[in-house]
Chains A and B, each alone.
Chain A
Amino acid sequence: MSRPKKIIRNLIILAILLLLFLNRSGLYFSPLSAHEHSERSIHYGPSNVVHVENFDGGKYILSKYDKWVSCNTVNRSLFFFWRLGDQPIGFENDKTKPLDFTWSRTYQNHKAYGIINDNRVKKIGITLSDGEVLTQTNFYDGLFLVTWTNNQEFKNIKGYDSNGQVIFESEH
């Protein structure tokens, strides 16, 4: 076999072996692909992605599925690829509350996310244990996501109306 033919043959074998490796090692070509597989393999979704945000080493994927709201994570791996993160499953939205939310963290990456049920809420403010307040006014299709990376813990969340009045507050 001539060298050019050998090279082509090697490249084909290489492509097959590479795909096999990627497949078995849980690596995906795109963050959304990892996210979709993450959801489906845990029997949730398919959710509607409203917002994607970067964090160090990965992405947050904020989405809505039926009456649930989730903020899945996917992690970058080996420069080009993506891997399942954690928390693909969402919480059930309590529509009786003006807004419903949850918060969690993985190592230094904290996130608080939720959904606005009452249109009067125009801004949310999350107070951390050191007093710092993180706010958001631009919601993603009614959903919000606030992230921080210091060691502060979530203290409470407030929902404000267009006049700046607090119309909802919660500490859980």
Chain B
Amino acid sequence: MPSPKGEEFLDDVLSFIKFPFDRATIRLELESHLQDKFEDYIEQGYDEETAGQLSISNMGDAKVIGTELNREHNPYFGWLWVLTRYAVILLIVVNVFFVGVSVVMSLFRSNLINEIPKSNIVYNIKVDKKVRLDDTVIQFTNVILEKDGQLDIFYDYYNTKLWGTGWSLGNIGTISDDLGNVYHSGSGSGQGGMISHNRRTVDHFSSEANTLIISYDDFNRKYRVEIQLKAGDRNE
């Protein structure tokens, strides 16, 4: 709380500081110095008015101090710094919002396989078959036959290329069995995310079939996956 003359002095110095964001801290530092000097003079026995005047004149020339300080607070660098700082904060917020949300969501997904009541399961076969379509890796994990003839094929897929999002995987191929049945009806569902968990369901699957065949043949991409049904792990 310097005197009015002190305030005037500080205003004078600050008038030479071109970058506005630094003015407050500079003012505080000089003000603190003035205050310390003032208290020193009081201790030495001077009266308040003289102490005040002396501490100001002891500081030196406001213009000299101001212009020299301004050299160390380049306004161009100052503004660039402020701009880039706010841009970084903005992008961090944006990224946390878009990227973070999807990462967090993929941590809280429910297990698709557990959605099937155990009492419905005729067999649950653990599968370890991997295929690749362009940059997408598809991993078949389980095949479950339910008592009502519904067959559930569980598979995960992920993208090996980091850039971009693109289309999610739709059709995994034609579903058939070793007896020659081709299954057209059914449905699919998935959960998206970095590793997408999916389920393809087929109705009225034959309980006599020994092998499940998933064959893909589109636009010069091909794969064929055969899954043994009776000789695998059973889980009733």
Contact = CB atoms under 8 A, between A and B. Distances in A.
A and B touch in the complex (CB under 8 A): yes
Nearest to A10: B84
A17 B95 contact: yes
A96 interface: no
Contacts, number: 89
A4 interface: yes
A68 interface: yes
A85 to B, nearest CB: 11
Interface string A20-57: 11011110100000000110111111000000000000
Interface residues of A, number: 31
Interface SS of chain A: helix
A52 B92 CA distance: 36
Given A23-B162, A65-B219, A68-B219, A41 B167 contact: yes
B134 A40 contact: yes
A3 interface: yes
A121 B165 CA distance: 41
B162 A24 contact: no
B98 A21 contact: yes
Nearest to B87: A14
B32 interface: no
B165 A24 contact: yes
B166 A41 contact: yes
Contact of B219 (A28, A37, A45): A45
Interface string B39-59: 000000000000000000000
Contacts of B159: 41
A66 interface: yes
Given A23-B163, A24-B165, 12 more contacts: A3-B78, A3-B80, A7-B84, A18-B91, A20-B95, A21-B98, A24-B98, A25-B165, A26-B164, A37-B166, A40-B166, A66-B219
**Which 10 A-B pairs give the minimum distances between C-beta atoms?**
A41-B166, A10-B84, A17-B91, A26-B165, A3-B77, A42-B167, A41-B167, A37-B164, A43-B133, A44-B219
Interface of A: 3-4, 6-7, 10-11, 13-14, 17-18, 20-21, 23-26, 28, 37-38, 40-45, 65-66, 68, 84, 88-89
16 contacts: A3-B81, A14-B84, A14-B88, A21-B91, A23-B163, A24-B102, A25-B98, A37-B164, A38-B166, A41-B134, A41-B135, A41-B165, A43-B133, A44-B218, A65-B219, A68-B219
